[in-house]
């Protein structure tokens, strides 16, 4: 019995049914790489966003501290102590 070129018995290149398995493995690996890249990029954006938010909060706290010192609500010792805490 003669088989045709692509009749399911060995496929066009003699890989047989193993070709389908390799295609599925390749697609799975590709999908996992894409998902991993998306997660890494998302984490970088979140990390950078939090860093700028922390800096802006620190600057605001220092501004409030300066105002309190200027109004005389706290003395120089207290101002320096709190300023050091905010900067560390």
Q: What is the DSSP string of 20-50?
A: HHHHHHHHHHHHHHHHHHHHHHHHHHHHHHH
Query: What pLDDT sits at residue 56?
Result: 67
* pLDDT bracket for residue 18 (50, 70, 90): low
Query: What pLDDT sits at residue 26?
Result: 93
Q: Is pLDDT of 10 > 70?
A: no
Q: Is pLDDT of 31 > 90?
A: yes
Q: How far apart, in Å, are the Cα atoms of 37 and each of 31, 40, 45?
A: 10, 5, 12
Q: Which residues contact 3 (CB under 8 A, 6 or more apart)?
A: 9, 10
Higher pLDDT, 73 or 4: 73
């Amino acid at each position: 019995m003669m088989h045709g070129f692509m009749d399911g018995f060995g496929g066009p290149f003699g890989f047989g049914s193993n070709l389908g398995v390799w295609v599925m493995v390749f697609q799975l690996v590709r999908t996992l790489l894409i998902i991993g890249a998306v997660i890494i990029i998302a984490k970088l954006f979140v990390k950078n966003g939090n860093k700028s938010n922390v800096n802006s909060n620190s600057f605001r706290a220092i501004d409030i501290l300066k105002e309190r010192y200027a109004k005389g609500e706290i003395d120089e010792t207290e101002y320096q102590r709190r300023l050091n805490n905010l900067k560390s």
